[in-house]
Chain A
């Protein structure tokens, strides 16, 4: 009996080491990049490029399911806080059932085209989970090295295989052209999750 227990313990120890030192593997699944590191999974949604008028396609057919990376906000003759049209990002096909969120990182990679009116600022990403209706605000930042500034743990513990609404919040400080706003041509959203 003791020998059986010793073997079981040795096996468990080896498995623990295998998990701890498993290599970082990368697999591309459509637009998503799934990584595994020390038992924590990561999905990266790359929303780069898209300049060729796809927004027009979506405006005409909002039920179409394709990668979209352009988001914009416009207003005529007003000043104040403004919200973009927004994008839905659905993780249900990528993250397994029962997985839970550890953190979400969202940022605008350096080099991504961003246009804005002269007196308009882009302030935050506002992420809302359709599953729980909880929201989180992450400062909008153009960077090549995302840090804790670009990360939120507000969704920690919630199911990860869900759909999110991502909007961009800006502020029109003063009218310049009469039709002011901003357009952001891409972004990156990273969901760090654990399987249960």
Chain B
């Protein structure tokens, strides 16, 4: 048992919210959309995953479940999440405009925000600029000690989407944090129940015979 604290390794420590192309992986990142499932459906799926996690027999099985939990969480939060997809697209447009005629095609596929950032190097510092985005966000491009620039999109007082060298990550808005709390409350309650650690499960007898408590009262 021990804690390891070490330098980051850019190859081995990429966040799963990044696609190999460099685009954010929207399967795991909450973004505003119309809810495709009813609350009851979400609750049933959360509980199902919690039960499976509680009875998982291997780390690999647990990892698969953990990713499904993240995907489900992204969907569950989508009705209160900021429109991160739109903000990201708007950031790409802003950088494309900033680069002007310097924008080059990559060959295959659409250019990512990171491509635009890379292409803007050598054309003046980006770090002291701010780009206003459609949807009320703001894009800044911090200096990375490892080289080049990162991308930070701020909205509603939070860094709702950022990439500072290790992939895309996101801070949650207060509304998302409140809903995330609900999500995990359902999840861990079911997990404990499946593990046999439920407080209610431990007290079945005296909940049935309430006359004991009535007599005391």
Contacts and interface: CB of A to CB of B under 8 A. Distances in A.
16 contacts: A5-B209, A29-B3, A58-B6, A67-B4, A78-B143, A80-B129, A82-B144, A83-B145, A88-B4, A88-B6, A88-B13, A130-B13, A131-B66, A132-B73, A134-B172, A157-B180
B145 A74 contact: yes
Interface in B135-153: 140-146, 150, 152
Contact of B127 (A81, A136, A158): A81
A89 interface: yes
A83 B143 contact: yes
Contacts of B195: 98, 196
A31 interface: yes
B166 interface: yes
B177 A154 contact: yes
Given A68-B7, A90-B4, A81 B169 contact: no
Contacts of B93: none
Interface stretch (B81-89, B105-113, B184-192): B184-192
Interface residues of B, number: 62
B20 interface: no
Interface in B161-217: 162, 164-172, 177, 180-181, 183-185, 187-188, 191-192, 195, 197, 202-203, 205-206, 209, 212
A62 B142 contact: no
B5 A68 contact: yes
A47 B183 contact: no
B9 interface: yes
A87 B191 contact: no
A2 interface: yes
A64 interface: yes
In the A-B complex, the 4 residue pairs with the smallest Cβ-Cβ separation, listed nearest first, are: A80-B127, A157-B184, A58-B7, A30-B2
Contact of A181 (B142, B145, B146, B188): B145
B169 A128 contact: yes
Contacts of B164: 83, 126, 167
B150 A83 contact: yes
A125 B184 CA distance: 25
A72 B19 CA distance: 28
B162 A135 contact: yes
A26 interface: no
Contacts of B188: 100, 157, 196
